[in-house]
């Protein structure tokens, strides 16, 4: 519980941030949700591109399947963490059936909160010598 309070205090100082109670309601994120938010932090993507980004970034350690990806996308849409684009990102966009997504400002703040929460856990693991200093 202390960890969550510390994360929330770090974010309360900036007025445009998600309020503490609201941020707390989203954390911790599921690994799939966090991976999707990380992918979209790099820019607007369609579902298949999100799957490829996660697989590439994790060197294949995480492979999202279509069913779990689209269920998670729907949950993130309902929570207001991502939004579907009204227009295609470019005229050269490949398949007109593809739906493109982007992070909302709330989604960005929640992703930052989750990253900070995980960073604090890694710091605690290093302090307990479960992980070496400065390395994975």
Reading the chain (136 residues) residue by residue, the pLDDT tens digits are 444 444 444 444 444 455 776 888 999 999 999 999 999 999 999 999 999 999 999 999 999 999 999 999 999 999 999 999 988 766 555 677 889 999 999 999 999 999 999 999 999 999 999 988 876 5
Q: Please give the model's pTM, rounded to 2 decimal places.
A: 0.79
* Close Cβ partners of 24 (under 8 Å, ≥ 6 residues apart): 4, 8
Q: Specify the length of the chain in residues.
A: 136
Dihedral sign (CA 120, 122, 128, 129): negative
Give the C-alpha separation, 64 to 70, whole Å.
10
Domain ranges within the chain, ordered by starting residue: 2-127
The SS3 call for residue 2 is helix
Q: Which CATH architecture has domain 2-127?
A: Orthogonal Bundle (1.10)
Token output for 19:
């309020």
């Amino acid at each position: 519980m202390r960890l969550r309070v510390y994360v929330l205090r770090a974010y309360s100082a900036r007025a445009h941030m998600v309020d503490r109670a609201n941020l707390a309601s989203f954390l911790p994120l599921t690994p799939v949700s966090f991976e999707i938010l990380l992918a979209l932090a790099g820019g607007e993507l369609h579902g298949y591109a999100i799957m490829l980004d996660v697989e590439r970034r994790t060197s294949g350690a995480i492979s999202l399947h279509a069913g779990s990806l689209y269920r998670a996308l729907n949950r993130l849409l309902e929570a207001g963490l991502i939004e579907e684009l009204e227009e295609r990102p470019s005229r050269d966009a490949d398949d007109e059936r593809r739906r493109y997504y982007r992070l909302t400002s709330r989604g960005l703040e929640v992703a930052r909160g989750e990253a900070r929460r995980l960073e604090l856990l890694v710091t605690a693991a290093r302090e307990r010598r479960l992980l070496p200093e400065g390395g994975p």
